[in-house]
């Protein structure tokens, strides 16, 4: 138990922060090889926001898969068919068992993903899904690994719920620093391609700060702020604050 507590201490420390998924996938790989993790909240079968995402191996597929998924393929996600119930469940999805061809091809076969384990929790009537993925080259989860995930399921679920709750509290906080951290976490979840400085600038854009105010706050030049914002908008495929909010929320 002491070893488990020590292993997950960095994950607990990162709750509500941008490094949550990275810390989680690192800890999991000490016992259960996982190539990628993704945390989602489904609300009434509408477009689910990707709250956190991190890769241990590969990762080149993430951007394209998320784009196709959020563009409409999420409607074919088998997680949406999970029955609403209390408690924690662990569900196995093999790519070859996916009936919807478009979803299977875009989200699994083209990305080289073989299998997904979902630690599912219904929190406040909404499905919170912590997805653990294996690439084809890594092979399927073994029975021993499945058993290990089931042992950890309650802990993983509690961490996921706490992380989402903490991010939500930060977004509603009156504290400026909390809100900037929360916006930065959302931006990191939407695109891992953004640099730290680009996230810092966009988080302040989302807070409603002017370019001049951002420059003063970050102690950089106005031209640098405009450059970081333009570059970040291009990476995200948005043109302004309204589209940025729509993408993140």
Note whether residue 227 is domain-resident.
yes
Neighbours of 175 (CB within 10 A): 9
Q: Are residues 193 and 146 in the same domain?
A: no
Note whether residue 171 is domain-resident.
no
- Among residues 163, 138, 128, 112, the alpha carbon closest in space to that of 32 is found at 138
Q: Sign of the CA dihedral 19, 22, 27, 32?
A: positive
64-91 pLDDT, tens per residue? 787 788 778 888 999 988 887 788 999 9
Note whether residue 93 is domain-resident.
yes
Residue 186: give its domain's CATH number.
Answer: 1.10.10
Count structural domains, the chain: 2
22 touches 54 (CB < 8 A):
yes
Residue 70: give its domain's CATH number.
Answer: 3.30.450.40
Q: Are residues 187 and 221 in the same domain?
A: yes
Tokens of 84: 């609403």
Q: Are residues 25 and 80 in the same domain?
A: yes
Q: Are residues 160 and 181 in the same domain?
A: no
Query: How does residue 113 score in pLDDT terms, banded at 50, 70 and 90?
Result: very high
Q: Are residues 156 and 201 in the same domain?
A: no
Q: Are residues 104 and 202 in the same domain?
A: no
Residues 6+ apart with CB under 8 A from 174: none
Q: Are residues 182 and 203 in the same domain?
A: yes
Q: Are residues 49 and 145 in the same domain?
A: yes
Note whether residue 188 is domain-resident.
yes
The last residue of one of the domains, among 125, 141, 166, is: 166
131-169 pLDDT, tens per residue? 999 999 999 999 999 999 999 999 999 999 999 888 888
Note whether residue 116 is domain-resident.
yes
Mean pLDDT of the chain: 88
Q: Are residues 159 and 88 in the same domain?
A: yes
pLDDT recorded at residue 57: 78
Note whether residue 42 is domain-resident.
yes
Note whether residue 200 is domain-resident.
yes
Structural domain of residue 92, as residue ranges? 2-166
Share of residues in the chain with pLDDT > 70 (%): 96
pLDDT recorded at residue 112: 92
Q: Are residues 79 and 183 in the same domain?
A: no
Share of residues in the chain with pLDDT > 90 (%): 51
The last residue of one of the domains, among 166, 190, 224, is: 166
pLDDT recorded at residue 46: 65
Average pLDDT over residues 239-247: 82
Q: Give the residue, 53 or 151, on which the prediction is more confident.
A: 151
Q: Are residues 146 and 26 in the same domain?
A: yes
The last residue of one of the domains, among 120, 135, 166, is: 166
Q: Are residues 80 and 156 in the same domain?
A: yes
Note whether residue 244 is domain-resident.
yes
Average pLDDT over residues 196-218: 92
Predicted TM-score of the model (pTM) = 0.78
- CB environment 190-229: b (16+ within 10 A), e (fewer): bbbebeebbbbbbbbbbeebeeeebbebbebeeeebeebb
């Amino acid at each position: 138990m002491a070893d488990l507590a020590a292993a997950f201490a960095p994950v607990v420390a990162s709750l509500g922060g941008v490094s949550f998924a990275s810390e989680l996938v690192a800890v999991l790989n000490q016992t259960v090889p996982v190539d990628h993790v993704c945390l989602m909240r489904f609300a009434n079968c509408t477009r689910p926001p990707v709250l956190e995402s991190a890769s241990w191996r590969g990762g080149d597929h993430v951007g394209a898969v998320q784009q196709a998924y959020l563009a409409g393929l999420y409607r074919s996600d088998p997680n949406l068919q999970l029955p609403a119930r209390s408690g924690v469940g662990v569900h196995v999805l093999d790519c070859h068992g996916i009936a919807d061809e478009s979803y299977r091809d875009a989200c699994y076969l083209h990305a080289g993903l073989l299998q997904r384990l979902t630690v599912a929790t219904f929190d406040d009537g909404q499905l919170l899904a912590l997805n653990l993925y294996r690439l084809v080259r890594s092979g399927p989860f073994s029975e021993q690994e499945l058993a290990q995930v089931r042992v950890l399921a309650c802990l993983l679920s509690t961490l996921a719920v706490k992380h989402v709750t903490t991010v939500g509290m930060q977004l509603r906080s009156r504290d400026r620093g909390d809100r900037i951290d929360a916006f930065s976490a959302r931006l990191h979840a939407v695109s891992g391609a953004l640099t730290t400085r680009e996230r810092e600038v966009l988080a302040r854009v989302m807070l409603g700060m002017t370019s001049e105010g951002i420059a003063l706050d970050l102690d950089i030049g106005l031209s640098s702020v405009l450059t970081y914002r333009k570059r970040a908008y291009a990476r995200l495929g948005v043109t302004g604050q309204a589209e940025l909010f729509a993408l993140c929320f």
